[in-house]
């Protein structure tokens, strides 16, 4: 079909733009039994970061029905809607937990001649992203209003063409979402084993193991610095542009959210920039934990990289410690918030972090845990790489379909 015949419209003519509720932060919870909140800080690039969602007491949900999100809804962060990693928007998937919309996040629902599936890709388009960037340019805190979202104009194809385009692109997104679910299940299976062996102490042979000084015989009480080398990240001089734009990953906390492995970063260093702080290189398989701001986010490195000062890293002295420490560090979040001065802007120094007490299980048990989980984490990494390729393919196809360059 000739795209010149597509109808030029303003988004607001065929889309309901609805903003969230001003929930009081002093009532936020971390109880997984409560209802998830979709805030600007857990709207990522094409996905909701459910793992860092705050929650709202379940007993208070009845009066907030109009703020409930449904599968297929498109949400867009209204404060800082665009960051260097991309536009902060997502489609609510079928697998999403029950959730509520928070203020300064817009919920978009198609109406009239616009199809909801096609709406997703209108918002994902480079045309809309450029529109958002232009609105926020020169403003201290970039923001887009509901009125400005509704004022976006684009060419809307006939309904059948919308459905065909959405079907082609959603095939990629469905595969990505399926892989996400598989990764979550794999990680959860490994976490359950960690809890069974190292929290509930029902490890193989526990019936015949004595408890000595509060830990099973053969285990050791130690501090984190005894598990390997602890390194705090650093940022090269931003005054020298030649330090940036190369191919060395430079990891910041947002790159860690929702990822077991960091596969790509918002910022990359040149070799010059990285070598200006050569003592900050990490090998693959290092364990990162955020210790400033949002503390307790844990991930693994996938390649040689560097990272910023908000993160501490452990290069384990023994590879058998890797997956044990990954889960043990995830358990540290409440302790880090307590010693760091609070939830919102906690600050845990390297000295405080590396001096935290931790238990080192017996080597034989660590070896068994590693043998079971090494293929699990390998599969997670493989699925994450598949998703990276699927996103690349979808993003190459999207503008050609949305402009009518490729007929459907």
Per-position DSSP letters for 302-341, written without gaps between them? -SSEEE-TTEEEEEESSGGGHHHHHHHHHTTHHHHHHHHT
| Within-domain flag for 214 | no
**How many domains, in total, are found in the chain?**
3
Q: How many CB atoms lie within 10 A of CB 38?
A: 27
**Residue 188 sits in a domain of what CATH number?**
1.10.287
In the prediction, which pLDDT does 407 show? 87
Give residue 253's domain range: 220-360
In the prediction, which pLDDT does 343 show? 62
Is there a single domain that holds both residue 184 and residue 145?
Answer: no
Is there a single domain that holds both residue 228 and residue 202?
Answer: no
**Residue 240 sits in a domain of what CATH number?**
3.90.220.20
Is there a single domain that holds both residue 35 and residue 144?
Answer: yes
What residues in the chain have per-residue pLDDT under 70?
Answer: 1-2, 138-139, 342-344
In the prediction, which pLDDT does 141 show? 79
| Within-domain flag for 215 | no
In the prediction, which pLDDT does 1 show? 54
| Within-domain flag for 2 | no
Is there a single domain that holds both residue 57 and residue 136?
Answer: yes
Is there a single domain that holds both residue 13 and residue 122?
Answer: yes
In the prediction, which pLDDT does 110 show? 97
| Within-domain flag for 55 | yes
Is there a single domain that holds both residue 67 and residue 184?
Answer: no
pLDDT digit string, tens, across residues 345-360: 789 999 999 999 999 9
| Within-domain flag for 1 | no
In the prediction, which pLDDT does 138 show? 63
Is there a single domain that holds both residue 126 and residue 204?
Answer: no
In the prediction, which pLDDT does 386 show? 98
| Within-domain flag for 393 | yes
Q: How many CB atoms lie within 10 A of CB 217?
A: 11
pLDDT digit string, tens, across residues 67-80: 999 999 999 999 99
Is there a single domain that holds both residue 185 and residue 301?
Answer: no
In the prediction, which pLDDT does 172 show? 97
Is there a single domain that holds both residue 332 and residue 232?
Answer: yes
pTM for the full predicted model? 0.89
Is there a single domain that holds both residue 96 and residue 162?
Answer: no
Is there a single domain that holds both residue 314 and residue 339?
Answer: yes
Is there a single domain that holds both residue 326 and residue 377?
Answer: no
In the prediction, which pLDDT does 383 show? 98
């Amino acid at each position: 079909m000739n795209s010149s015949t597509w109808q030029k419209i303003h988004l607001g003519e065929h889309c309901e733009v609805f903003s969230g509720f001003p929930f009081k932060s002093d009532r936020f919870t971390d109880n997984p039994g409560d209802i998830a909140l979709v805030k600007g800080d857990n709207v990522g690039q094409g996905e909701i970061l459910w793992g860092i969602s705050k929650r709202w007491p379940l007993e208070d949900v009845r009066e907030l029905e109009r703020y409930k999100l449904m599968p297929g809804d498109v949400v867009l962060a209204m404060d800082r809607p665009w960051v260097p990693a991309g536009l902060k928007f997502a489609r609510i998937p079928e697998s999403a937990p029950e959730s509520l919309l928070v203020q300064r996040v817009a919920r978009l629902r198609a109406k009239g001649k616009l199809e909801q599936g096609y709406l997703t890709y209108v918002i994902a388009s480079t045309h809309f992203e450029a529109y958002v960037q232009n609105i926020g340019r020169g403003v201290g805190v970039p923001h887009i209003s509901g009125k400005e979202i509704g004022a976006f104009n684009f060419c809307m194809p006939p309904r059948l063409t919308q459905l065909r385009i959405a079907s082609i692109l959603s095939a990629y997104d469905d595969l990505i979402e399926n892989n996400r679910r598989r990764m979550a299940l794999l990680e959860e299976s490994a976490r359950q084993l960690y809890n069974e062996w190292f929290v509930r102490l029902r490890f193989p042979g526990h019936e015949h193991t004595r408890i000595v000084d509060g830990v099973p015989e053969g285990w050791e009480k130690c501090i984190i610095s005894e598990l390997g080398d602890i390194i705090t990240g650093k940022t090269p001089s931003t005054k020298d542009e030649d330090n940036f734009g190369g191919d060395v990953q430079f990891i910041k906390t947002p790159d860690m959210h929702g990822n077991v492995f960091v596969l790509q970063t918002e910022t990359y260093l040149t070799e010059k920039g990285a070598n200006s702080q050569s003592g900050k290189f990490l090998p693959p398989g290092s364990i990162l934990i955020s210790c400033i701001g949002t503390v307790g986010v844990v991930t693994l490195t996938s390649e040689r990289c560097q990272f910023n000062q908000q993160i501490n890293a452990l290069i384990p002295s023994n590879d058998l410690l890797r997956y044990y420490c990954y889960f043990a560090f995830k358990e540290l979040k409440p302790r880090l918030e307590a010693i760091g001065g609070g939830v919102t802007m906690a600050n845990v120094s390297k000295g405080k972090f590396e001096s935290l007490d931790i238990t080192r299980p017996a080597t034989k048990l660590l070896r068994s845990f590693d043998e079971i989980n090494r293929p699990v984490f390998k599969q997670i990494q493989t699925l994450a790489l598949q998703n990276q390729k699927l996103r690349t393919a979808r993003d190459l196809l999207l503008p050609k379909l949305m402009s009518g360059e490729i007929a459907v």
